[in-house]
Amino acid sequence: MKKQTRTIIIVLLNVLFCAYMLWFSARNTYLRPYAGSTTRELLAGLILLITLYANYFLLYPKLHKKHPVVYWVVLVSLCIIAAAMDFAIAYHHIMYCNGAIIGEIGAFRFFSHYFKLLTIRNVALNTFPFIFRERQELQKALDKEVQIVYQDARLLDVSDKEHNARLIPRDNIYYCQQDGNYNRIYVTQDDLYYTRYGSMKYLEQLFGSEEFVRVSNTLLIPYRYIQSCNGTEVFMKRLPWQKEPLSFAIEPKYLDQAPGQIALYLLTSKGQETMKPPKQNRKRRKPVKPSQEKTDTVLQYIKEHAGSQTKEIAENTQFSPTTVERCLAELRKQELVTYKGSKKMGGYHAVKKESEEKQ
């Protein structure tokens, strides 16, 4: 939607510009005598518009950087040709109405005066697109550099108190406060601040709403250094060199959004902290060895009830399933019992010793 609106605005501006240039050419009789009709004047203005757009879309993009001398030669030649065509359109009417003056001062002097004015006008008007397009390309290059510095490297260009240019990490910004046409960028080092020219709105757009929140017309705060918010006031985290933490009042204009954004961030950050797995510093406990009495009881039950399972043994011996499992593990370790069959249908059996088999 924004792109469509921007395109419509650009088209309307171009239409208005063309209409103004045609009106200007039709009324600008002091550059040369009147052509005799409004249609001829508009035709002369149309020739000027053609030179303007040819320069802006064709000559400048293709010749200016690679062949600047050729560009200016072609542009001046185009302006001279446009001036000559302008005179050609009005020539008969000029000769008819100004014959006496031309005969008095001479045709060369008469036409050279107006021809010079028309050429200067054409060159001057064609210079505006040159300056405008030059500024656009410079702005694109600057925006590209800014994106690299601000987003990828996460740095901000500022000036220190001695007006030296510096780059500071965005994570070190404690808060930003506007002071006239400049922004004071306070950092987390001993109440140190830097300055940066520009508006607070531009700085807000530069940082984005995910990391910074605006609480007043002159104040921009990073979420990472906010301790709490009571709905009308923001309390900052205390830094090592501070005796007391800072606090800022939220202006009425920002009461609808700022507290909610801060609360959401604080809730999210605390939730992330609690979701972190706890550190496992505890030492593993050694397995508890069952008493000999319990082990013998379990062994005796297995001898009497071959094929018993853990649940059955626990119910009949009045031991817990965990105790029975420990006893079975100890008996299997001593090779006194073994498990036979599947997990569902099988059970434990006592291992007969050689002396018992001989008997």
| 68 and 104 assigned to the same domain | yes
Residue 132 confidence (pLDDT): 65
| 174 and 122 assigned to the same domain | no
Does a structural domain hold residue 285? no
Last residue of a domain, one of 78, 98, 133: 133
**Is the confidence at residue 327, as pLDDT, over 80?**
yes
| 234 and 311 assigned to the same domain | no
pTM for this model (two decimals): 0.39
| 297 and 329 assigned to the same domain | yes
| 128 and 196 assigned to the same domain | no
Mean pLDDT of 191-196: 87
CATH assignment at residue 349: 1.10.10.10
Residue 157 confidence (pLDDT): 83
SS3 assignment for the chain: CHHHHHHHHHHHHHHHHHHHHHHHHHHCCCCCCCCCCHHHHHHHHHHHHHHHHHHHHHHHHHHCCCCHHHHHHHHHHHHHHHHHHHHHHHHHHHHHHCHHHHHHHCHHHHHHHHHHHHHHHHHHHHHHHHHHHHHHHHHHHHHHHHHHHHHHCCEEEEECCCCCEEEEEHHHEEEEEEECCEEEEEECCCCCEEEEECCHHHHHHHHCCCCEEEEECCEEEEHHHEEEECCCEEEECCCCCCCCCCEEECCHHHCCCHHHHHHHHHHHHHHHHHCCCCCCCCCCCCCCCCCHHHHHHHHHHHHHCCCECHHHHHHHHCCCHHHHHHHHHHHHHCCCEEEECCCCCCEEEECCCHHHHHC
Q: pLDDT digits over 244-286, tens only?
A: 888 999 998 898 888 888 888 888 876 454 334 444 444 555 6
Mean pLDDT, the chain, whole residue set: 80
| 54 and 95 assigned to the same domain | yes
Mean pLDDT of 183-201: 87
- The region of weakest confidence among 181-195, 277-291, 306-320 is 277-291
Does a structural domain hold residue 251? yes
Mean pLDDT of 121-134: 74
Domain boundaries, position 197: 156-273
| 33 and 96 assigned to the same domain | yes
Does a structural domain hold residue 15? no
CATH assignment at residue 191: 2.40.50.1020
Q: pLDDT digits over 26-37, tens only?
A: 666 667 777 778
Does a structural domain hold residue 172? yes
Residue 214 confidence (pLDDT): 92
| 331 and 259 assigned to the same domain | no
| 236 and 174 assigned to the same domain | yes
Please state the domain count of the chain.
3
